[in-house]
Amino acid sequence: MTPDSDTPLPPPEGRRRLREERALTQAQVAARLGVSRDLVRRWETGRSTPLGRAREAYAQLLSEPLHPSHDADMTARPEEPTPADTTAATASAPPPDADTENRAEPATAAGTRPATAEGAGPAAVRDGEPVAAGGTEPVVAAGTEPAAAGGTEPVTAGHAELVVPKGGAAAGRGSPPSRHRSTSLTPAQAFDALYAFCAPALVRQTYLLTGRRELARESVERAFQLAWQRWPEVAVDPDPASWVRAAAYEYALSPWHQFRPRFRHPEPPPAAASDRALMDVLLTLPPPHRRTLLLYDGVGLDLPETAAETEASTPAAANRLLHARAVISSRLPSLADPAALHRRLAETAAAERLRAAKPTAVRRSSEHRARQWTRAAIAFTVALIGATCLTLYTAPTRYEPPVPPGETVQGVPPKAAPGPLSHARLSLRAKLRSEPAHGPERLVPETR
The model's pLDDT over 100-120, given as tens digits with 9 standing for 90+, comes to 344 333 333 333 333 333 333
The answer to whether residue 364 sits within a structural domain is yes
Task: Mark whether 324 and 365 lie in a shared domain.
Answer: yes
Strand, helix or coil for residue 168: coil
Task: Mark whether 29 and 177 lie in a shared domain.
Answer: no
Strand, helix or coil for residue 410: coil
Task: Mark whether 124 and 9 lie in a shared domain.
Answer: no
CA dihedral 324, 328, 330, 336 (to 10 degrees): -100
What is the radius of gyration, based on Cα positions, of the chain? 41
Q: What is the mean pLDDT of residues 223-235?
A: 93
The answer to whether residue 425 sits within a structural domain is no
Q: Which residue has the higher pLDDT, 402 or 156?
A: 402
The answer to whether residue 395 sits within a structural domain is no
Q: Supply the range of the domain harboring residue 55.
A: 1-97
Task: Mark whether 90 and 146 lie in a shared domain.
Answer: no
The answer to whether residue 442 sits within a structural domain is no
Q: Which amino acid is at 447?
A: T
Task: Mark whether 349 and 316 lie in a shared domain.
Answer: yes
The answer to whether residue 229 sits within a structural domain is yes
Among the candidates 356, 374, 389, a domain finishes at 389
Task: Mark whether 5 and 69 lie in a shared domain.
Answer: yes
Among the candidates 62, 97, 132, a domain finishes at 97
The model's pLDDT over 246-271, given as tens digits with 9 standing for 90+, comes to 999 999 999 888 888 888 787 888 88
Instruction: Give strand pairing partners of 131.
Output: 124
Is the pTM of the predicted complex or chain greater than 0.75? no
Stretch among 14-18, 123-127, 284-288, 335-339 having the lowest mean pLDDT:
123-127
* Closest C-alpha to 199, from 247, 139, 258: 247
Q: What is the domain-level CATH number for residue 228?
A: 1.20.140.160
Task: Mark whether 152 and 240 lie in a shared domain.
Answer: yes
* pLDDT for residue 304 is more than 80: yes
d(CA 120, CA 446): 133
d(CA 219, CA 105): 40
DSSP for 206-269 reads HHHHHS-HHHHHHHHHHHHHHHHHTHHHHHTSS-HHHHHHHHHHHHHT-GGGGGSGGGSSPPPP
Among the candidates 65, 97, 129, a domain finishes at 97
Stretch among 283-297, 318-332, 429-443 having the lowest mean pLDDT:
429-443
Task: Mark whether 133 and 248 lie in a shared domain.
Answer: yes
Position 13 confidence tier, pLDDT thresholds 50, 70, 90: confident
Task: Mark whether 59 and 155 lie in a shared domain.
Answer: no
Cβ proximity of 178 and 214 under 8 Å: no
The answer to whether residue 394 sits within a structural domain is no
Task: Mark whether 296 and 192 lie in a shared domain.
Answer: yes
The answer to whether residue 103 sits within a structural domain is no
Task: Mark whether 231 and 292 lie in a shared domain.
Answer: yes
**CB-side neighbour CA atoms (13 Å) of 27:** 20
* Closest C-alpha to 354, from 226, 252, 246: 252
Q: What is the mean pLDDT of residues 26-39?
A: 86
The answer to whether residue 420 sits within a structural domain is no
Q: What is the domain-level CATH number for residue 10?
A: 1.10.260
Stretch among 227-231, 278-282, 416-420 having the lowest mean pLDDT:
416-420
The model's pLDDT over 374-409, given as tens digits with 9 standing for 90+, comes to 999 999 999 999 999 999 999 888 888 888 888 887
| pLDDT of 69 | 43
In the chain, the number of structural domains is 2
Burial 360-375 (b: 16+ CB within 10 A, else e): eebbebbeeeeeeeee
The model's pLDDT over 162-215, given as tens digits with 9 standing for 90+, comes to 655 444 333 333 444 444 444 578 999 999 999 999 999 999 999 999 998 899
Task: Mark whether 3 and 73 lie in a shared domain.
Answer: yes
